[in-house]
Structure 1
Amino acid sequence: MFNKWGSAAYRFRKIIPLAILAIILGLYGIFGVKLDDRLSQEGWDDPGSSSTQAARIEQEVFGRDASGDVILLFDDIGRKDEIQAYLNQLKSDHPDQIKQIVSYFDNQQEIMRNGDTAFAAVSLQGDGEQTLKDFREIKPDLQFEGMEVAGATAVADALDEGMAGDIHRAEIYALPAVGLLLLLVFGSIVAALMPLIVGVLSILGSIGVLAVIAGFTQVNVFALSVVTLLGLGLAIDYGLFMVSRFREELARGQEVPDAVRTTTATAGKTVVFSAAMVAVALSGLFVFPQAFLKSVAYGAISAVGLAALLSITLLPAIFGLLGKRIDLGTVRKTRPEARRIRDTWWYRLPAWSMRHAKAVTFVIVIGLLALTAPLFGIKFGGINETYLPPNNQVRETQERFDETFPTLRTDPIKLVVRGADNAELVEIYQQANEVPGLTDRFKASQATKDGVTVLSAGISNREDNAAVVKQLRDIDVPEGVEVYIGGTPAMEVESIEALFQRLPLMALYIVAATFILMALVFGSFILPAKAVIMTILGMGATLGILTAMFVGGVGADLFNFSPGPLMSPVLVLIMAIVYGLSTDYEVFLVSRMVEARDNGASTDEAINYGTARTGGIITAAALIMIVVCGAFGFSEIVMMKYIAFGMIAALLFDATIIRMMLVPAVMHLLREDNWWAPRWVKKASAALGHNQVRVAQPGRSGRPATGNNELVPFNELVNRLQRED
């Protein structure tokens, strides 16, 4: 199948690039440019939870609670008249954005003052996404000497700006750095440009696809950062593998049409199945109810799928057009056969690991388990101002407001009571106020309307959210009365509960699906099982390191973040990403071993050959992905740092101790069992077409004869590859 695909790509090599370019630029030009207006700040909650129902009832009866939208903090109340004039002017200048302004300077309520500090609460007109747009309209006018800005919408805006900075940083710093790395790897400007072309086009296409999806369902703004990170990194990786294999086939003596076909049938097939592994891992996010996770899955899967599609369509067509001119613009001579395989680091380290297989396996497994240990101290929370850098002005102001006015928090816990008479309401009120951990007694936000009353109170410490919610659930509710626990703290608790209820289902689905895919690719049941176990070991170590950093505080000062509870949706997301990346590299490595095995190699020969032939290129791919992740590691947003550092840690594990040492050692211990599978799996795998290395047969002139290819026995192939110039 992939042989035919490669032949078709060569045959239509002039049409394919133009058609793809037109489609992607059209997709981006028509839809992609509208993405910013369609992205959402919402989607963190479980739509079926009590907190979501509480918010819906409150909004239907009383309208949206806008009291905590924007907080203006003033430290010089002696300038009362000036401040009042400024607030009046602000309201009159923005009647379409500001619903009302309630301030100490209006009503002299002592609850809105603490010493020389007082505040004004600005309620915005819009609902949902319009709230943030309203804030951005008034933001330029939020300028007054001695005034500081906080509030839920101000925090959301700061988070959004931080994510926009991530994209800009990737464009400005990551792409040029990746270009230099590719130039070092290939030594040719033209060859280095090929993966970059795939990367840029896949991002543009993914943005267009995401904009289309956002027209039908909620897409969280965070999805764009993840799409850029994954799409750019994997697209360049896939392009790197394709270009490397094409140049290898040319160096082996194949004519251009044969080299294009072989590249597509080998590296191309591996790219498709690797992308399928990543997509399957990301599709596991669909089992969760949060729209945030679903939107990230939509975007990331489209980015990965488009990167693979471009790699097996656009690149083979360009290869056909360029031929040996792919090495134009050479800045460094690269001679693939200048050294024998046995003299490379990529051959000697796996060989050493196999000689000490039992010791290597024991030490590495124990080491990975030890790195997993901090994971047992993980804590979960929700998104708030602590996800901003410690020196961010909005965060500092919000924390000062919470400290100065602890009973007026902008993220209270709420009880939405429906159908209670006065006596029943008093009973619920008294029980609720017995719960410890509150900043003050519950108070009614507004007078009872349509049989609905909303009681609210602050929670002193966010780490007590779960305990407070649990005790509120134990309130003895009178028969016929409905009580819904709402507010941000309840939403966070219920989101965590929903995630952990679905996590086993996600794990089972991902493991089963990737196992089946790898069994088809490798023609083995043992190799997929080994891959899954090693992926879980590596993922555990990665999550342990992340917990030590972002919960324990290791490196917090160096990387400018505050340790604290992690958002559970982000943990689930990083698990899906790390699992996908780990199986991605596993497929590239083991596919080359299977290729050698299919050509008659023994198990140890196949291990050495596969590792040696992929060693340099997988290391380069990992370095490129690390550079891309590094750009996001300097994000102002903690959850983006979490994903970036998680990917970096996973890549370092996969590219070094797991791929170079643990995989060879374990496979050596398994010996011939590596290749076992039921007969039906072997048949299904054969139907897909295993990779086959074909070398052009030399003609009388000593040059390769066009189209006269034969399957060369493995030993002879190795001898040719080891032959020095």
Structure 2
Amino acid sequence: MPDALDPDAPDPDASHPDRSRSALSRLGAGLGHHPGRVVVTWVLLVLLGFAAASGAFGNERLFDRLSTGEPTVPGENETGRDLIADAGSSGFQTITVRVDGVQVASPAVAAAAREAAQQVGALPGVTQVASPFVVPGGLESPAATTMLKGGSAGSDGYVTVATVGDLPDDAAYHALEDRVTDTVRAATAGSGATVTAGGVRDLVDAITGQLEVDLRTGEGIALPVSFIVMVIVFGGFIAAGMPIAGAIASIAGALASLLGFSYLIDLDTTAVNVVTVLGLGLCIDYGLLVVSRFREELRSRAAGMPVAQIPREMVVDATARTVDSAGRTVVFSGLTVAISLGGLLVFQSPLMKGIGAAGVSVVVIAVLVALTLVPALCVLGARRLLRKGTESAPEHGVFSRLAQWVHRFPIPIIAVVASALLALAAPALDLRLTSSGAQLLPVSAPERVFFDGLAKDYPVLGGADVTVVAEAPLEQAQRYAADLRLPQGSRVLDVKTLQGSESMVRIDVPGGPLEQPARDVVDQLRHERPAFQTYVVGQASGLKDFTDSMWERAPYAFALVALATLVLLFLMTGSVVIPVKALLLNVVSLGASLGIVVLVFQKGHLEGLLGFDSVGAVESTIPLLVLAFGFGLSMDYEVFLLSRIVELHERGYSNDDAVVVGLQRSGRIITSAALLVVIVFSGFVAGQLLIIKQTGVGLATAVALDATLVRMLLVPATMTLLGDWNWWAPRRLRGLHARFGITE
């Protein structure tokens, strides 16, 4: 086998086809002639994007248009919740005021509480007030004990619950909440009472606000650290600044895109963080690739010429070639990422559809930035990029030696690496899903403290663990509730008329609304139906609907993504073996990253180091997000590496030689890009929201595993083992590739 690195190896440019008339080449030439116009246009677009997202044009701020809550899908739980909301019994319509530090049995406390309830009920916007001191039957009645701390009249606390009507916006709700709280505080003044208030809307606002803080924290960590790393990688501030400039443009574009989507679909708070981070990571990846290729192309043309003497036309030619070569890699990569995110559109969950649609739009922005803004910046800083000289980098290096070492021991390397990845993936078989509410916030957050305290001191008031909405009158629903054979420890709290002929049966289950007993009760109630229509509602019910829908749609999503990826890689490589192998390796590495998420967050490892409290499960959206985004990013690096190997193979290099040279030329880019993306995702691990930490750890792990064990070891080892079989395709498909394939 000839050595690809010796003088007799194929000339890299000898068989290079003339692509000067390709669309990307013409785009590059245009950028080379007019870089200033392109940069000014992007600066204006970036300013407009940030301004629009911040509400500078009189529109709502992006973060004010976000929603949060458990992921929903059309189904029984959603239908039942809609019926409850239509009846005015939604948690979004209540304000709960806690009064602590008083003697509930004191006549003075009772008088002050009754006065407070009367005054609160008179406030505009309040439709109903519940207090243990105004219900029939006194403090010993069942209705009163639910509002007494510990359910006892001998306790030192009680709550007043105000139900509010339709309000124009959140600002009106919070203004009314302040008035309700002040009214209760004034009525109990002088008694030494401590008065606190909260509601579901407060929890939603806290999660949304924390997301905004986490986003700024992540960017504040990721951008400076990424810049420092790129200064080291590129050896200069100018080259390092170009991908960062592209990343900033991507953030602006992502925020503007998400603002637009918020008017079309409901966007969850997590969508902003995940999608923005994706755009940030992709732009850094693509910027690194484009800047490196531009340097390489310009150096190959200057060939030792003094930097100051490089003519303008040479810069234009290098730009055209860069956009044509690296640009096609970027387009292929963007397509693979967009395909993986497009798989989310198959699922029924509006959250998943929203993330998928918004994610695809952000990928488009990242590709546009890489094809236009970054090359234009390269043109403006061309001579500064080559300040260390115009000599081409040597073909010998760390990555070529690594590839040659892998060539000598392919089978042991495959066995060891594959075994390690499968061992890491094993914990994923024990995956347990949940859908946290207040638990998303850190334990010290005021809103979580309020809700945790409410669940502890007023377990019934905090909401039933499971609710059955029955299309039956009260008497019939009461007979149904009396006949229920619930597991030991579970009990019917009450049966109420919802509206008209609809009733509601509220059930308390030991362990909380998402623990196994609640899940078992949901299964039982859905299996043992009465003669009339019922809807089982609650967090466990919603989680069941979501997971059932996820498992039902997952095969279709996987088939769509896999088929599209196989076709795309076939058009790129002309092989059916390489695409199938890439798909299998990605599945193994993603399984390993999901297994690490289970170990860390479900099993509770690294709680202290990462600053979280395990809830014994993984958020229900995390597997889909890690698999979709992780698959896209993994294929991103696959395209980076394969584009070089295919390019060299088409120029006459043997299979092994193409892998050695391809890994040498792309290994530094892949490793640097992966390191930067890991930094980006690790920055968001520093956030406070649990779901954001899980996403950050999952994706950072997926990228790290893929760029090291898979891309640097498994890919060259399997390509060595398969040899020329890597490039095999049936005769008919070879004909199709010759006609429709996208080649160098």
TM-score for the superposition, normalised by structure 2:
0.84
**Per-residue CA shift, 1:506-537, capped at 9, x if unaligned?**
11111111111111122221111111011001
Shift of 1:137: 6.8
CA distance in 1, matches of 2:403, 2:196: 59
Match of 2:130 among 79, 89, 102: 102
**Per-residue CA shift, 1:142-193, capped at 9, x if unaligned?**
6876345554333323322221111110232221121212212212222222
Residue equivalent to 2:320: 261
Counterparts of 1:119-130 in structure 2 under 5 Å? Answer: 119-123=158-162, 125=164, 130=169
Contact 1:68 1:122 in 2 (8 A): no
Residue equivalent to 2:188: none
Match of 1:111 among 146, 170, 174: 146
Partner secondary structure for residue 71 of structure 2: coil
Residue equivalent to 2:372: 313
Residue equivalent to 2:634: 582
CA distance in 2, matches of 1:147, 1:614: 62
Q: Give, as a single letter, the amino acid of the residue that structure 1 aligns with 2:227.
A: G
Q: Give, as a single letter, the amino acid of the residue that structure 1 aligns with 2:547.
A: I
| 1:341 is aligned to 2:395 | yes
Contact 2:93 2:165 in 1 (8 A): no
CA spacing shift, 1:277–1:133, aligned 2, 3 Å: farther
Percent sequence identity is 28
Residue equivalent to 1:606: 658
**Per-residue CA shift, 1:370-426, capped at 9, x if unaligned?**
11111111111212222222333432332332233333333532111114573x434
| 1:567 is aligned to 2:619 | yes
Residue equivalent to 1:714: none
Contact 1:280 1:514 in 2 (8 A): yes
Further displaced range: 188-197 or 575-584:
188-197
Counterparts of 1:679-698 in structure 2 under 5 Å? Answer: 679=731, 681-682=733-734, 692=744
**Per-residue CA shift, 1:671-702, capped at 9, x if unaligned?**
0011122456556656677665xxxxxxxxxx
Residue equivalent to 1:177: 225
CA spacing shift, 1:566–1:126, aligned 2, 3 Å: farther
Residue equivalent to 1:382: 435
Contact 2:648 2:658 in 1 (8 A): yes
Residue equivalent to 2:66: 39
Contact 1:379 1:566 in 2 (8 A): yes
Contact 2:577 2:726 in 1 (8 A): yes
Q: Give, as a single letter, the amino acid of the residue that structure 2 aligns with 1:674.
A: N
Q: Give, as a single letter, the amino acid of the residue that structure 2 aligns with 1:125.
A: V
Structure 2: 5+ residue runs without aligned partners? 1-21, 186-192, 303-313
Further displaced range: 648-657 or 100-109:
100-109
Shift of 1:281: 0.6
Residue equivalent to 1:4: 26
**Per-residue CA shift, 1:256-286, capped at 9, x if unaligned?**
1221111111111111111111111111111
| 1:591 is aligned to 2:643 | yes
Residue equivalent to 2:573: 522
Further displaced range: 66-75 or 631-640:
66-75
CA spacing shift, 1:394–1:28, aligned 2, 3 Å: closer
Structure 1 vs Structure 2 CA RMSD: 2.9
Further displaced range: 85-94 or 486-495:
85-94
Contact 2:656 2:720 in 1 (8 A): yes
CA distance in 2, matches of 1:197, 1:85: 62
Shift of 1:87: 5.5
Contact 1:437 1:468 in 2 (8 A): no
Contact 2:474 2:502 in 1 (8 A): no
Residue equivalent to 2:82: 56
| 1:245 is aligned to 2:272 | no
Further displaced range: 347-356 or 388-397:
388-397
Q: Give, as a single letter, the amino acid of the residue that structure 1 aligns with 2:546.
A: S
Residue equivalent to 1:399: 452
Q: Give, as a single letter, the amino acid of the residue that structure 2 aligns with 1:72.
A: V
CA spacing shift, 1:568–1:67, aligned 2, 3 Å: closer
CA spacing shift, 1:438–1:154, aligned 2, 3 Å: farther
Contact 2:566 2:579 in 1 (8 A): yes
Shift of 1:623: 1.3
Q: Give the number of equivalent residue pairs.
A: 678
Counterparts of 1:312-711 in structure 2 under 5 Å? Answer: 312-327=371-386, 333=388, 337=392, 340-342=394-396, 344-410=397-463, 412-420=465-473, 422=475, 424-432=476-484, 434-436=485-487, 439-445=490-496, 447=497, 449-461=499-511, 462-464=514-516, 465-478=518-531, 481-563=532-614, 564-679=616-731, 681-682=733-734, 692=744
CA distance in 2, matches of 1:569, 1:584: 22
Partner secondary structure for residue 407 of structure 1: coil
CA spacing shift, 1:6–1:75, aligned 2, 3 Å: same
Shift of 1:13: 3.3
CA spacing shift, 1:105–1:182, aligned 2, 3 Å: farther
Contact 1:50 1:485 in 2 (8 A): yes
Shift of 1:92: 8.3
**Per-residue CA shift, 1:448-499, capped at 9, x if unaligned?**
6321111112332222232111100122422xx2111123332222112111
Contact 2:103 2:156 in 1 (8 A): no
CA distance in 2, matches of 1:448, 1:322: 69
Q: Give, as a single letter, the amino acid of the residue that structure 1 aligns with 2:257.
A: V
Contact 2:92 2:200 in 1 (8 A): no
Contact 2:338 2:363 in 1 (8 A): yes
CA distance in 1, matches of 2:710, 2:168: 45
Partner secondary structure for residue 575 of structure 2: coil
CA distance in 2, matches of 1:220, 1:247: 41
CA spacing shift, 1:121–1:634, aligned 2, 3 Å: farther
CA distance in 2, matches of 1:67, 1:39: 15
CA spacing shift, 1:419–1:631, aligned 2, 3 Å: same
CA spacing shift, 1:87–1:553, aligned 2, 3 Å: farther
Partner secondary structure for residue 524 of structure 1: coil
Further displaced range: 462-471 or 318-327:
318-327
CA distance in 2, matches of 1:612, 1:321: 28
CA distance in 2, matches of 1:521, 1:129: 54
CA distance in 1, matches of 2:196, 2:430: 36
Further displaced range: 562-571 or 646-655:
562-571
Contact 1:437 1:459 in 2 (8 A): no
CA spacing shift, 1:437–1:607, aligned 2, 3 Å: farther
CA distance in 2, matches of 1:397, 1:39: 23
CA distance in 2, matches of 1:86, 1:238: 66
Partner secondary structure for residue 159 of structure 2: strand
Contact 2:117 2:130 in 1 (8 A): no
Match of 2:38 among 16, 20, 23: 16
Contact 1:238 1:271 in 2 (8 A): yes
CA spacing shift, 1:128–1:238, aligned 2, 3 Å: farther
TM-score for the superposition, normalised by structure 1:
0.87
CA spacing shift, 1:643–1:136, aligned 2, 3 Å: farther
CA distance in 2, matches of 1:157, 1:326: 46
| 1:153 is aligned to 2:201 | yes
Contact 1:67 1:122 in 2 (8 A): no
Further displaced range: 636-645 or 407-416:
407-416
Residue equivalent to 1:717: none
**Per-residue CA shift, 1:8-34, capped at 9, x if unaligned?**
333443433333444454455446633
CA distance in 2, matches of 1:594, 1:300: 29
Partner secondary structure for residue 112 of structure 1: coil
Partner secondary structure for residue 276 of structure 1: helix
